Amino acid sequence: AQKITQTQPGMFVQEKEAVTLDCTYDTSDPSYGLFWYKQPSSGEMIFLIYQGSYDQQNATEGRYSLNFQKARKSANLVISASQLGDSAMYFCAMREGPVQGAQKLVFGQGTRLTINP
Amino acid sequence: ETGVTQTPRHLVMGMTNKKSLKCEQHLGHNAMYWYKQSAKKPLELMFVYSLEERVENNSVPSRFSPECPNSSHLFLHLHTLQPEDSALYLCASSQEVWTGELFFGEGSRLTVL
């Protein structure tokens, strides 16, 4: 079964608009972490934001925020005031298990975001 | 300068060739990873090393052979590959195994003819 689902293969957004990238996850482990990575055309994966399953508040990092809805098992990435440089692939990922011990980081299939001028 | 450097960035090889991908991290991390990124498929974990010891081998065919001579360097030796092995191979590192964020290199784009 797919652990991480990103239902939007591609999105087109006008510059300066806000954009929400969807991510739903599946786990029975009470302790897990959710990540978003950005992959520009250069290929490098760039860490954007992290949300722990026990975190009470939604994570924010500059223009990035994570809309964490635990009961719905969703962890959508919100980018405010989009810029042309935001055009890239975006991957949602989940780490299951306690901080100490064997864990795995599982990635979704990604969403290609294109920002139009 | 990126913290994780991969060479070569692009590689074309025949099915009978032997080549190696190299990864070097300058972050003082203890864990290193190889991921495979194929078109239209999620990132697939291949190998995990913690302090030069392999802690994960995710059912990867033996034509892929990793080597971690020290905590800063990771190699992926390739031999008798198949065309379906064509993909972007990403190296990553983290402070400790599965702890903290992963820092990725820019990847090695491999094409097998």
Of A46, A91, A101, the CB nearest to B43: A91
Residues A37-65, mean pLDDT to the nearest whole number: 91
Of B40, B42, B92, the CB nearest to A108: B42
Q: Is the pLDDT of residue B100 over 70?
A: no
How far is residue B38's CA from residue B89's CA, in Å, rounded to a whole number? Answer: 9
- Does residue A57 carry a pLDDT above 90? yes
Nearest residue in chain A measured CA to CA from B43: A107
| Percentage, residues of chain B above pLDDT 70 | 96
* CA distance linking residue B76 with residue A71, whole number of Å: 41
How close is the nearest chain B Cα to the Cα of A15, in Å? Answer: 26
What gap in Å lies between CA B26 and CA B12, rounded to an integer? 27
> For residue A92, what is the nearest residue in chain B, using CA coordinates?
B42
Distance of CA A51 to the CA centre of its chain: 9
Query: Residue with structure tokens 């990035």?
Result: A64
pLDDT confidence bin for B36, thresholds 50/70/90: very high
The predicted model gives B36-56 an average pLDDT of 84
Task: Identify all chain A residues contacting B101, using CB atoms and an 8 Å cutoff.
Answer: 35, 47, 50
Q: Residue B106: which of A44, A97, A101 has the nearest Cβ?
A: A44
pLDDT for A2 equals: 66
Question: Residues of B numbered 26-85 whose beta carbons fall under 8 angstroms of chain A's beta carbons: which are they?
Answer: 40-43, 45, 55-56
Residues ≥6 apart with Cβ < 8 Å to B59? none
Q: What is the pLDDT of residue A97?
A: 60
Q: Going by C-beta distance under 8 Å and a sequence separation of 6 or more, which residues neighbour residue A56?
A: none
Segment A72-108, tens digit of pLDDT: 999 999 999 999 999 999 999 998 765 544 456 888 9
Q: Which residues on neighbouring strands pair with residue A49, listed in sequence order?
A: A36
Q: What does the pLDDT read at residue B86? A: 95
Q: How far apart are CA B106 and CA A97, in angstroms?
A: 28
| pLDDT recorded at residue A101 | 46
Out of A5-14, A28-37, B37-46, pick the least confident. B37-46
Could you tell me whether strands B31-37 and B53-57 are parallel, antiparallel, or unpaired per DSSP bridges? unpaired
Contact between B98 and A46 using a beta-carbon 8 Å cutoff? no
Number of other residues whose CB lies within 10 A of the CB of residue A64 = 16
From the list B2, B9, B42, which residue is nearest A109 (CB)? B42
